Amino acid sequence: MILIDPPLWPAHGRLWSHLVSDSSLAELHEFAARQGLPRRGFERDHYDAPGELYESLRAAGATAVTSRELVRRLQASGLRRRKSGAMGRRVPGRELLRPAPLRAGDLVAVPAMAGVVPPERLDEGRARLKSWGLRVRMGDHVLDRHGRLSYLAGTDADRAADFAAAWMDPEVRAVMPARGGYGTQRVLDLLDWRRLAEAAPKHLIGFSDVTALHQAVASRLGLASVHSHVVTSLGHASPRSAESLRRLLMEPDTVRELFEDGAVDVVVPGRAVGVLVGGNLAMLASEVGTRLSRPARGGIVLLEDIDEAPYRIDRLLTQLLRSGWFEGVRGIVAGEFTDCGPRDEVEFVLEERLAPLGVAMVKRLDVGHTSTTASIPLGLAATLDTDRRSLTLSA
């Protein structure tokens, strides 16, 4: 049923009514579209309708109720959520909304967002997820191949449709892309982020090219996510690495220390408190200037990459520095730079470009394109302490 409350005078001095549904948002959107209300008037669970449309909306079938009754029915239907528990934009540096832990029997959706997916590795990763008691559902186009571009798993529209279908499905509790490789950025602008914000919060898990998605869900949905394996790498993960991801998703209260063995080297001593942000260096640099980029302000930055020569790492860091992406950063954690050339040269580039920022910095964290990678929850507050060689999640 569509409900509308009497017109009122808000602070901006114009008469407005609230139009809601007590059964589903789909019903509400359909009714609003028929009446010519623009989607930009939708606010989480209701439309702000101009007061002059009140009588015409009633004539079209909206039932008039008091404001108190409208709120009561919204709460009873489960459509009204506290702002703190709903997805939406949050300023950089603020801790993001963390989805509820996964439980045995929960459903994980697996879309292909980027490169062509090897079926055998997909099966291995699926088997590992099932061994945790989770159900797994593959996207309709997960094994597609683009007709002309050999590096893409199907068309951009199909990959976007698979992600949107997974995200909007109320049964799905986590989305874990099948693999990385280039292609995720091509679908981001095909997604309706306002519509995606209407879904219940769910986990996004992945690394490498998935960094573009981490940035998007952080900037547009205000949602924390997990930098860790994709499905095709999970089957080859070491037992310890796989277990660290399982605990972070299913037993998060048991995870506080992210440097489990303290095996990092100090570049710049110090202590930093901030929200974890970052991921793949190439993706972060190529997202700068887009509406989905999430800057480092107020954050502890994680960086990793693969197959980037030292001069290209230099160029990527220089782009981030010149664009102002690092302004307000509080700490830096350099992970693995796999197959990027001589380690000493790579580390010199990282230190020469980033140490002058004067914030606490460590290097050689095992996170990135490795089978032993640590799992890092992006969007959560943490403390980096170089004396203790620790990165600890806030309570």
Domain boundaries of the chain, sorted by first residue = 2-80, 90-255, 256-395
* Cα gap 288→218, rounded to integer Å: 14
Q: Is 55 a catalytic residue?
A: no
pLDDT in tens, 300-341: 999 999 999 999 999 999 999 999 999 999 999 999 999 999
Q: Cα torsion at 113, 114, 115, 120 (round to 10°)?
A: -20
Mean pLDDT, range 357-376, rounded to an integer: 97
Q: How far apart are CA 92 and CA 328, in angstroms?
A: 10
Residue 46 is among the residues annotated as catalytic for this protein: no
- DSSP H helices in 294-342: 310-323
| pLDDT score of 11 | 55
Cβ atoms of residues 366 and 259 within 8 Å: no
Which option is the CATH number for 256-395: 3.40.50.720, 3.30.530.20, 3.40.228.10, 3.50.30.60? 3.50.30.60
Spot the catalytic one: 304, 308, 336, 390.
304
Phi–psi pair at 345, nearest 5 degrees: -70, -40
Is 208 assigned a catalytic role? yes
Instruction: Pick the catalytic residue from 308, 369, 375, 390.
Output: 369
DSSP symbols for 188-245: HTTS-HHHHTTSPP-EEEE-GGGHHHHHHHHHHH-B-EEES--HHHHTTS-HHHHHHH
Mean pLDDT of 143-169: 97
The pair phi, psi for residue 33, each rounded to 5°, is: -65, -40
Look at residue 185 and tell me whether its pLDDT is greater than 70: yes
Per the CB < 8 A criterion, the answer to whether 255 and 393 are in contact is yes
- The correct answer on CATH 1.10.10.10 for the domain covering 90-255 is no
Active-site pick, 17, 21, 208, 219: 208
What pTM was computed for the model? 0.84
Tens digit of pLDDT for each residue in 74-90?
888 777 766 666 778 88
